[in-house]
Amino acid sequence: MKKSGGAADKKRVRRSSGAVPNGTRDLNSDTPPRKQAAKKDVFQLFAEKVRDHKGLVSRWAVLQETRVEYFRGKDFVSFLKNHPEIKDILESNKNLEVEEIVDTLLSKNLLVRCDRVVKTVRPGKKKLSTWPAHLEIFPDQVFSESDSFFAWTFVKQRPLWQTLLSLSWPVLTLAICLFPIYPHGCKLLILYSCAGLLLLIFSLLSLRATVFGALYIILGKRVWLFPNILAEEATLGELFRLWPNKDEEERPKWTTRLFYALLAVLVILLLRHHAPDEAARARYQKRMSNIIDDVLEWSPSLALSGMMEKQPTLVNATEPNDFTDSGQTDSEKVPPAGDEGGETILEQHEDEEIKNIEDAADQHQHQDHI
């Protein structure tokens, strides 16, 4: 009995020695935990937070055939001065200076220092571009506030709306392919929507060109309304910005402005002289109306019925054909479908209308000459 009791006491001692009071595990033990949460780098979190913040002004450029988002060194210094709470993400490193923070980001390959490709002032401009479109890697990867550019090297996390938009492209492609079988009302809605959008785009471009030409010739100012509307690399806010930046180029000479004024007058006179008359406009409108009507009125049922009508009827060669052309009267004869010489009553009526319009246009021109 004593031996068994001693063995039980030894087991209790072994179990109690492996246990830790309060049910916690010894953190200093050599046994690694089975599941350890991977803690993200604070500088990585800081870089993502700064990049997503709207307070830091940034642009897009091409770096070694790759589009990158970059910012200027002086803008980064101003950003941290205006938003010191961003540095709280760095926890124990939040008291670091701006130069030390950027050097750490450079060492962790979260940033790369760049330099402009074009380092000379272009003809007609007073200074270098504030935001160059092409960059190259700077040899010395250290922070500098004066005329320095820094590009983000990590891939920005895509928002949810961009993911949903990318998934909708196949659906949109399929919807475009199925346009011929849409109902007539849907076809009209799509047609007028697309036509209105194209009209809006061409009207906006024409307005920009007119305002630019008028101010350039009269005042010698280069003013482009919606300056980024045709830019390939611009944010949504910059794309619809109405007023342009200050003109940094030299004012054009009066001889140049006079030359462009005479050229504009010459182009307007040529377009007016070669403008189509009423008859040509009517013919073009008729042709376009026929094409649009063919697209809008097409349907699978009509296509299938037309294919059935075009199938030739088989006639038995042994039986006599009583329905000859000689047995038909003139009123029963129908011109063949492929005969280009035959015209329907509708086509003849349209031709008569076009002739009447041409005659009216000729009479109007004759009266103008008199």
351 — pLDDT class (breaks 50, 70, 90): low
Tally of CA atoms within 13 A in the half-sphere of 336 that contains its CB: 5
- Buried/exposed 47-63: b ≥16 CB within 10 Å, e otherwise: bbebbeeeebebbbbeb
Residue 283 · residue 232 · CB < 8 Å = no
Domain boundaries, the chain: 42-152, 184-271, 276-310
370 has pLDDT over 60: no
| Average pLDDT over all residues of the chain | 76
pLDDT at position 11: 41
pLDDT at position 240: 78
Token code pair at residue 70: 């970059």
For the whole prediction, is pTM greater than 0.75?
no
Q: 251-280 pLDDT, tens per residue?
A: 888 898 999 999 999 999 998 888 888 888
pLDDT at position 303: 66
364 has pLDDT over 50: yes
Q: 54-92 pLDDT, tens per residue?
A: 889 898 899 988 899 999 999 999 999 999 899 889 888
Nearest to 73 by CA among 151, 132, 20: 151
Q: 276-320 pLDDT, tens per residue?
A: 888 888 888 888 888 777 777 777 776 667 665 655 554 444 445
pLDDT at position 342: 45
Name the helix (H) or strand (E) containing 288.
helix 278-297
Distance of CA 172 to the CA centre of its chain: 15
